[in-house]
Amino acid sequence: MTREDLEQRIHDMVNKKGMTSDEIIRELLVEEGTNAEEIRQAIADMVRKGEIIKKPDYDKKKFIFYLKET
């Protein structure tokens, strides 16, 4: 899977609902067999580029990633 394909899959996943990085990684590892570190890097790059946003969920004690609203 190319980096662009990976970012598109992450985009599609967080477009449906907010997800933690663990949920994104778990789903992509099962479906695609992608490396967890590569997924983390793609998420971080997408946050830096402003494509997705992360918000804290204090109940779960994790960050939830959402598609940036336009």
Domain ranges of the chain: 3-67
What three-state secondary structure class fits 66?
Answer: strand
| Dist CA 23 CA 13 (whole Å) | 10
Number of Cα atoms under 13 Å in the Cβ half of residue 20: 11
Q: So what's the pLDDT on residue 69?
A: 75
| Dist CA 31 CA 25 (whole Å) | 10
For the segment 1-58, what is each residue's pLDDT rounded down to a tens digit? 788 999 999 999 998 889 999 999 998 887 777 889 999 999 999 999 999 999 999 9
> Whole-model pTM?
0.85
Q: So what's the pLDDT on residue 2?
A: 87
Domain 3-67 has CATH 1.10.10.10: yes
pLDDT band, residue 70 (cuts 50/70/90): low
